A and B are shown apart, each in its own frame.
Chain A
Amino acid sequence: MIGAVIIVFREVIEAGLIVGIVLAATHGVSGRTRWIGLGIGGGIGGAALLAAFAGTVSDAIGGAGQELFNASVLGIAVVMLAWHNIWMARHGREMASHARAVGQAITSGTKPLSALAFVAGIAVLREGSEIVLFLYGLMLSSGSPGSSLLAGGVIGLVLGCGLSVVTYLGLLTIPPRYLFGVTSALITFLAAGMAAQCVYYLEQANIVTILSARLWNTSEILSEKSVMGRVLHTLVGYSDQPTAMQGLAYIFTLAAIFVLGKILSSPSPSCPPPVPESHRHRLVNE
């Protein structure tokens, strides 16, 4: 039973952390419960579907369906996270000066919220499908050990949800004026790590073959599959034996988000930010 707890908890770490960060990043935004709930719900539904069609997905695209699916969803998540951060860099300043209107202002642009909800959904989808498969396997193996294993799996899931809550509440202890900066930084590193993971799947599918030399091998010191390894893998994209191409994707993503955020965060009078007139008035009036 402990074995099942550990297996499920290990799988759920990444999704748990990401949901926690997304919750903190959208703290105080009205309508976020609905959006993120929708994202998570969609992720769970998708995970069940993905698990049910695991064989079909595997066989697709010359047997590389699984890799390409993972690479695609990770690629989409990177774009969503990058776009969210760039959008926030652009509008964050004007909203920060009207701290109380922040919620409303972000609601006026529900787009970045939907991007984060989508990312939460994708995280649940990727990790969830493996958990569904694992639990399904446990259910197939009949007998009493099976059911105690299943209970273990459920405990693992609950622990994962607990991790989300702890991450969220932990981030909320940061003073509000720093919280935005911290979540932005976390999201940037999250995106960079996902970009490197996307390259990993493209390499596994033999689509990306250049720059395949290993940058380092620290699997003996800190395995990427250990609990600590997984936490760092999610938060900063830690990999115990990354390829040069993964490193490049990581640095490129960090740089792209940072540079684009900087360029776009200083709107000049000739090019006002695309906030609807009505909302701008409302912000000023408040």
Chain B
Amino acid sequence: MRCRHAGDIIKLTVLSALTLGLAQIPVNALEAVTLRISIKDHRFQPSELKVPANRPITLAVRNLDPTPEEFESRTLRVEKVVAGNSEITIQLRPLSPGRYRFYGDFNEATAQGALIAE
């Protein structure tokens, strides 16, 4: 009987985990601002970008190089691969005012940039 009981606990755990997951579908009240940057010769263009604070942001990163890059930022909490000659979009949550550094993980020496939220 004990095993039966344990089975029920597993089921309950899985169910509650699923419900918890479903309850988190996002609702963004404010419309996102779309901004674009590109990567050329392992550098970001523009390398500094002013963005509105406290609004969700859609950041489109286009890689004009044939080589892949990884767009990464600790403060923005993003790690995303951008294949050569292609584009990715990143959804950022509303930022409090400040400077948010980002970089290209595969070419960190040159690929440096920052978002300035104000």
**Interface on A for B, CB 8 Å cutoff?**
3, 7, 51, 54-55, 58, 63-64, 66-67, 129-130, 133-134, 136-137, 140-141, 200, 202-210, 212, 219, 223-225, 240-241, 252, 256, 260, 263-264, 266-268, 270-271
- Complex Cα distance, B106 from A212, in Å, reads 28
Q: Min CB distance, B62 to chain A, in Å?
A: 12
For chain B residues 65-91, which have a beta carbon within 8 Å of chain A? 66-70, 74, 77-84, 86, 88-91
B93 contacts the other chain (CB 8 A): yes
B6, B66, B78: the one within 8 Å of A263 (CB): B6
Majority secondary structure of chain B interface residues (helix, strand, loop or mixed): mixed
**Interface on B for A, CB 8 Å cutoff?**
1-6, 9-10, 13, 17, 21, 23-28, 66-70, 74, 77-84, 86, 88-91, 93, 105-106, 109
A204, A207, A223: the one within 8 Å of B24 (CB): A207
Task: With CB as the reference atom, state the residue of chain B lying closest to A245.
Answer: B24
Tell me whether A208 and B67 are in contact (CB under 8 A). Answer: no
The 10 A-B residue pairs whose C-beta atoms are closest, nearest first, are A137-B67, A271-B3, A55-B83, A54-B83, A63-B89, A55-B86, A133-B68, A206-B91, A209-B26, A268-B2
Q: Min CB distance, A129 to chain B, in Å?
A: 8
Q: Min CB distance, B106 to chain A, in Å?
A: 5
Beyond A264-B6, A268-B1, whether A134 also contacts B106 by CB under 8 A is yes
A sample of 20 inter-chain contacts (CB < 8 A) reads: A54-B81, A58-B86, A64-B91, A133-B81, A136-B67, A137-B84, A140-B67, A141-B67, A206-B91, A207-B26, A208-B24, A223-B74, A224-B74, A256-B13, A260-B10, A260-B13, A263-B6, A264-B3, A270-B2, A270-B3
Beyond A7-B106, A206-B26, A210-B24, whether A241 also contacts B74 by CB under 8 A is yes
Tell me whether B81 and A58 are in contact (CB under 8 A). Answer: yes
Count, A-B residue pairs, CB within 8 A: 102
- Complex Cα distance, B6 from A210, in Å, reads 30
Add 9 more A-B contacts to A58-B80, A241-B74 (CB < 8 A).
A51-B68, A63-B91, A64-B91, A66-B81, A130-B105, A133-B70, A209-B93, A268-B2, A271-B4
B66, B78, B86, B88: the one within 8 Å of A140 (CB): B66
Q: Min CB distance, A240 to chain B, in Å?
A: 7
- CB neighbours of A3 from chain B (8 A): 109
B2, B21, B69, B91: the one within 8 Å of A266 (CB): B2
Q: Min CB distance, A260 to chain B, in Å?
A: 7
Q: Min CB distance, A162 to chain B, in Å?
A: 23
- Complex Cα distance, B106 from A122, in Å, reads 22
Tell me whether A263 and B9 are in contact (CB under 8 A). Answer: yes
- CB neighbours of A270 from chain B (8 A): 1-3
- CB neighbours of B86 from chain A (8 A): 55, 58
- Complex Cα distance, B82 from A58, in Å, reads 8
A137, A256, A271: the one within 8 Å of B2 (CB): A271
Tell me whether A203 and B3 are in contact (CB under 8 A). Answer: no
Task: With CB as the reference atom, state the residue of chain B lying closest to A63.
Answer: B89
- Complex Cα distance, B21 from A264, in Å, reads 26
